[in-house]
Chain A
Amino acid sequence: MSINMTLLLVMGVLYAIGIYLLLERSLTRVLLGLMLLANATNILLLTTGGYAGLAPIFNKNIPATEFNDPLPQAFILTSIVISFAVTAFMLSLIYRSWLLSHADVIQDDREDLRVAKQDLYDVEEDSEIAIEISDFHENDQPLESREMIPEVTLKKSTTTPSAHPPAPKDLS
């Protein structure tokens, strides 16, 4: 089919600038980028309809080829209203973020950073614990020579065993 290069170029520019803004840290710019991307996509859909034509209002005397393609139009209409809803949602996000942290910038996720820096040592799995010799809690006289399950560390240098609390001697 024939291709409208003008519209495609406009679309390309909108995509480029939309992505450029999307990669910003400022939430406002991210939102503006999203809006440009939506516009770009709408134009992409529009170009698939081909040449400009008549508004698709049915008339027995007009052949279907005279109309601008109604199918992409229906898609675009849906897309316009959805982007409106998304924009409104983002706006409230920006406002809430401003209320909470007084900044409208996207911060790095602290939890992710914490995970990346976290210690290898897991008390639950790796520490030394006493072997139990009864199911019943009444048994509180520990044997002096109670056997222990030793703790496990991969490399002494990479972990800090001293950071964990001492293994419970008496588990009753």
Chain B
Amino acid sequence: MLIVLSAHFLVAILAPFLFTRWGRATFYVLAAVPAASFIWLLTQYDAVYSPAAISPSVDIPWIPVLDTNLSFRMDELSWMMSLLVLGVGALVLAYCARYFKTDDAGLGGFGAQLLAFAGVMFGLVTADNLILLFVFWELTTVLSYLLIGYARTRIAARRAALQALMVTTFGGLAMLVGLIMVGESAGTYRISAVLAKAPELVAATGTPGTVLNIGIALILVGAVTKSALVPFHFWLPGAMAAPTPVSAYLHAAAMVKAGIYLIARLAPGFSGTEYWQLLITVLGLATMLVGGWRALRQHDLKLILAYGTVSQLGFLTVVVGLGSKEAAMAGMAMVLAHGLFKAALFLVVGIIDHQSGTRDIRELSGVFRSAPLLGVVALIGAASMAGLPPLAGFVAKESVFAAFEANARYGPAGTGIGVLVLAVMVLGSILTFAYSARFMWGGFAKKSKGMATAFKPVGALFLGAPALLSLLTVAYGLFPKAVETWIAPYSAQFPAYDHEAMHLALWHGFSLPLLLSAVVVAGGLGLFVARKRFEKLQAKLPPVIDFERGYRQSILGLDLVSIWVTGRTQRGSLFFYLAVILSTAIASVGAVLIITEQHWSDRIYFLDPGSPFQIVAGVAIVVGALAAARANRRFMAVLMVSVTGYGVALIFALQGAPDLALTQMLVETIILVAFVLAMRSLPPGLQERTAGNHKILRIILGVTFGAVMVVVAIVAMGSRIATPISLELPKMAYEGGGGLNVVNVTLVDIRAWDTFGEISVLAIAATGVASLIFVRGRGQRLARAETVPTGSIGRVAEAGSAQSTTAELAKRFTSAPGNAWLVAGRTLAPERRSIIIEVVTRLVFHSIIVLSIYLLLAGHNGTGGGFAGGLVAGLALTIRYLAGGRFELAEATRISAGTLLGVGLAAAALTGIAPLFFGGEIFQSAILTFDLPVFGHVKFVTSTVFDIGVYLVVVGLVVDVLRSLGSEIDQHEEDGIGGITLIEDDEPLEVGR
């Protein structure tokens, strides 16, 4: 079974490639898959039907925790459905090879979808797990959406596809809920086990009983939508926008039968549940009448068949769902007969459309004479549909009448209802006869007016598929015994209403069913003869409720609601979103604080005996923050925020955290430089854009948020009762991590995963910075200094002006040979240079770099580490840039930022993975001791390599910031982009280079 299933999907995946090679002939290759599976299925007959053996099954765990497994089981019902699915599937695929043209657009995808659909249907009818069944169920929905919408350029096809998708997905969701309810009440999701438990489940009363009843009803909603029953019937005629072979397959043999299959599958166990009979009988009979009634109004051959299918589906539902032995036999007989004749008729319509270019019965005339063979094939199909002997349809319909006669006589619903049901069925069958006749007359007869329709001759291969199906219809009608043996084991699961066993046969003797059949033929003929008058009557009657219109109205209503909701919640204003988020945070946390009882700590102090001066730093921070909020000059605000940053650094230092203090100082300094660099082209003023409106609200939000955070902190800390684990950290750091600096060892060893994640974020942010400024690339191709003429960068003074005299003076100093303090200092315009800064930079740069390396290496045992070291090195590069301009920076960093980031991440990742090769765990560190000539005894901890990675990433980040916010914005300024030309909004992001 798995091989059959996977063969369908594998070939489907390959199909598009095959189509490019062989064109439409590929359909024969595709058809071979279900055909071969069909033969395999026939060989399985003995295994399935031998009374002793249990049904063949496959069981592969998938999500065992949720009792969702890849379970498949081939019992008699599955076998019969598979016959239909695979057999008709193979014929339709073969038929496609003549229906389509090789140059039809998207044929490869279409073939793949159709074949996959056959596979999915096979999976659906063999699935033995409720959830697996649902998965296949939804797959048929998705594939049918794609297949119906095959003609992507036609609005009708797209609309119909979407409609089918919406309706069946709606049902599918209801069904999922139902499946879970049933699965949970049964305690298993295995379908065979659920059915085995059914009597016990149905007998349950109280809540479990209600759950089961509702669950089954919800599953029926899924079946009703899929099988296009009233009130969801409208999607099926709409789906006729699909290519005709798809209609033949989906709407005759496969998809719509999924609903019937589900009813047939559950009927043995659950036909006695509370809402079952009501839903099935009322909806089924209503559908039968509505479908037949509307079929008689159609002019499109395909729509006649489509409404006919709707009608037949209603009929099938009632029969299959009744739950008696006779009805089960009759129902399955009807399902098979219907699959045969309806598929054949659809394929005939496809041929007519293909050869004449229309399906409209008002345009078609004299087709029978042009294509007599086709006419015979169609006639067999239509006669079978109408229920004429000696065909399959007749045998099946007779048995249905017999089964419902038994139901009326002996059924639990009583004689009155039983007779009513039977009467409606006869009425529906009369309509069926009439539209069958309408189909034959409309498609083939020579109408009084007009000439015979031009009709190309039909090829044998084209006609082959429907002809074979019609042949089977005749064979079935002549030898119904074979079919009876197929169905018998399935129907034996039901109680027999009649004491006499019912058989499938052409001749039952003179009985009520035969009489009813005669009534049907007479009534149908009468309706057909009086068709003109009947059409007038139909036109006069006001249309019954138009469910399609209702569907479209409700979709429109949904649109209305969603636009309304979207328009009111997604207002595109960041302020609005943030205000909502913050208010929610304040309200929810505040409510919990107020409602629940809190442990208030009684040890609250204002003056820390260990660091009394932190109050001073605290005051500075508060003052800085307030000033930042009030500042209306850009750089003033930035400076004030820096004040708070430095203040926090001071607090760190006083609290006993030198690492933090050092890092915070360095970061504040570099950020300050970055701010100045990035904002030099922006105007100095900061207008109060939202003054007035929201100011009060902002203050309220800010103050309450701050207050809530204070209370949260007090409550959280007051609730602490356990000893902090950090008391163990110093020992762990020394013994496990081999380092004295606990914070550093925590970062590179104890919580190395955390740090690894962090440096990844740094690399991403650095890349983001570079991409936002450079748009493309990272600017690695920055020219070397020797390509730039001396004194050319950043020139402001024009020759001859007053300024230029000073410039000339400066030039003489700075361009003197042998004065190269900096490699690229000469590239700057003289008025931009400062000899003091250049000299100082020359003197301190290397010392700072050495310091940074010292911090990196010493960090394991003393203050420092990769972060601090990397930031110090970044600071050194910042100084180089400030002193010598962007070419100086280029000379100082010949390695690109991207390489630095990559190597850094790689080094860190390597220290993570390497221990695995020595039998350790990820990020486990090893302590190596050895003697070196100069350094003497050396103790080396492998996590130092990780720290080097961190160092490189931080340097890479700083280099990216300097190159982007520094060098590249310099370039923009010189090119006259930043701050001078206004770039229109709609222009593509092509700025800078």
* CB pair B985 A100 closer than 8 Å: yes
* CB pair A54 B656 closer than 8 Å: yes
- A129–B610 CA distance with the chains assembled, in angstroms: 83
A55 at the interface (CB under 8 A from B): yes
Minimum-distance CB pairs A-B, first 7: A112-B572, A116-B567, A52-B610, A109-B572, A16-B706, A68-B656, A85-B765
A156 at the interface (CB under 8 A from B): no
- A169–B595 CA distance with the chains assembled, in angstroms: 67
- Chain B residues with CB under 8 A of A84: 667, 670-671, 957
How many residue pairs, one in A and one in B, have C-beta atoms under 8 Å apart? 419
* CB pair A58 B730 closer than 8 Å: yes
Q: What would 6 A/B residue contacts be, using CB atoms closer than 8 Å? A: A2-B601, A4-B606, A19-B701, A82-B758, A133-B359, A133-B363
Cβ contact of B603, chosen from A2, A17, A48, A129, cutoff 8 A: A2
A163 at the interface (CB under 8 A from B): no
B854 at the interface (CB under 8 A from A): no
- A65–B728 CA distance with the chains assembled, in angstroms: 10
- Among the 9-residue stretches B279-287, B551-559, B834-842, the one with 4 or more Cβ atoms under 8 Å from chain A is B551-559
- Chain B residues with CB under 8 A of A58: 730-731, 733-734, 739-742
Contacts A1-B720, A78-B747, A171-B154 given; indicate if A126 touches B552 (C-beta within 8 A).
yes
* CB pair B572 A113 closer than 8 Å: yes
Chain A's nearest CB lies how many Å from the CB of B773? 5
Chain B's nearest CB lies how many Å from the CB of A87? 6
- A48–B861 CA distance with the chains assembled, in angstroms: 24
B539 at the interface (CB under 8 A from A): no
Q: Residues on A close to B: CB < 8 A?
A: 1-26, 28-29, 32, 35-36, 39-40, 42-44, 46-49, 51-59, 64-65, 67-74, 76-78, 80-89, 91-96, 98-102, 104-106, 108-113, 115-118, 120, 122, 124-127, 129-136, 138-139, 143, 147, 149-150, 152-154, 158, 168, 171
- A149–B238 CA distance with the chains assembled, in angstroms: 10
Chain A's nearest CB lies how many Å from the CB of B512? 41
Chain A's nearest CB lies how many Å from the CB of B501? 47
Query: Which B residues from 342 to 365 make CB contacts under 8 A with A?
Result: 350, 353-354, 357-360, 362-363
B121 at the interface (CB under 8 A from A): no
- Among the 9-residue stretches B201-209, B327-335, B428-436, B573-581, the one with 4 or more Cβ atoms under 8 Å from chain A is B573-581
Nearest B residue to A108 by beta-carbon distance? B572
Most buried by B among A14, A77, A91: A77
Main secondary structure of the interface of A (DSSP, over half): helix
Contacts A36-B628, A112-B572 given; indicate if A74 touches B743 (C-beta within 8 A).
yes
* CB pair B730 A98 closer than 8 Å: no
- A6–B716 CA distance with the chains assembled, in angstroms: 17
Cβ contact of B656, chosen from A56, A89, A135, cutoff 8 A: A56
B196 at the interface (CB under 8 A from A): no
Nearest B residue to A122 by beta-carbon distance? B559
B660 at the interface (CB under 8 A from A): yes
Cβ contact of B754, chosen from A78, A112, A136, cutoff 8 A: A78
Contacts A25-B575, A74-B746 given; indicate if A88 touches B689 (C-beta within 8 A).
no
- Chain A residues with CB under 8 A of B861: 57
Contacts A17-B626, A23-B575, A73-B660 given; indicate if A55 touches B863 (C-beta within 8 A).
yes
Contacts A3-B718, A81-B762 given; indicate if A51 touches B608 (C-beta within 8 A).
yes
* CB pair A36 B155 closer than 8 Å: no
* CB pair B702 A15 closer than 8 Å: yes
- A111–B560 CA distance with the chains assembled, in angstroms: 18
Chain A's nearest CB lies how many Å from the CB of B644? 6
- A130–B769 CA distance with the chains assembled, in angstroms: 54
- A140–B357 CA distance with the chains assembled, in angstroms: 9
- Chain B residues with CB under 8 A of A3: 601, 603-605, 713-714, 717-718
- A139–B155 CA distance with the chains assembled, in angstroms: 17
B927 at the interface (CB under 8 A from A): no
- Chain A residues with CB under 8 A of B660: 73, 76-77, 80
* CB pair A69 B618 closer than 8 Å: no
- Chain A residues with CB under 8 A of B637: 28-29, 32
* CB pair A85 B694 closer than 8 Å: no
- Chain A residues with CB under 8 A of B989: 100
Query: Which B residues from 159 to 175 make CB contacts under 8 A with A?
Result: 159, 162
- Chain B residues with CB under 8 A of A147: 299
* CB pair A51 B609 closer than 8 Å: yes
- Among the 9-residue stretches B405-413, B489-497, B961-969, the one with 4 or more Cβ atoms under 8 Å from chain A is B961-969
Query: Which B residues from 272 to 318 make CB contacts under 8 A with A?
Result: 299-300
- Chain B residues with CB under 8 A of A18: 625, 702
Nearest B residue to A107 by beta-carbon distance? B572
Nearest B residue to A152 by beta-carbon distance? B552
Cβ contact of A56, chosen from B610, B728, B743, cutoff 8 A: B743
Cβ contact of A106, chosen from B556, B574, B610, B772, cutoff 8 A: B574
* CB pair A91 B675 closer than 8 Å: yes
Most buried by A among B358, B573, B644, B657: B657
Nearest B residue to A110 by beta-carbon distance? B572
Chain B's nearest CB lies how many Å from the CB of A166? 13
* CB pair A91 B965 closer than 8 Å: yes
- Chain B residues with CB under 8 A of A168: 155
Contacts A71-B729, A143-B363 given; indicate if A124 touches B159 (C-beta within 8 A).
yes
- Chain B residues with CB under 8 A of A74: 743, 746-747, 751
- A4–B604 CA distance with the chains assembled, in angstroms: 6
Contacts A4-B608, A6-B607, A36-B628 given; indicate if A120 touches B727 (C-beta within 8 A).
no
* CB pair B863 A12 closer than 8 Å: no
* CB pair A23 B698 closer than 8 Å: yes
* CB pair B659 A77 closer than 8 Å: yes
* CB pair B618 A95 closer than 8 Å: no
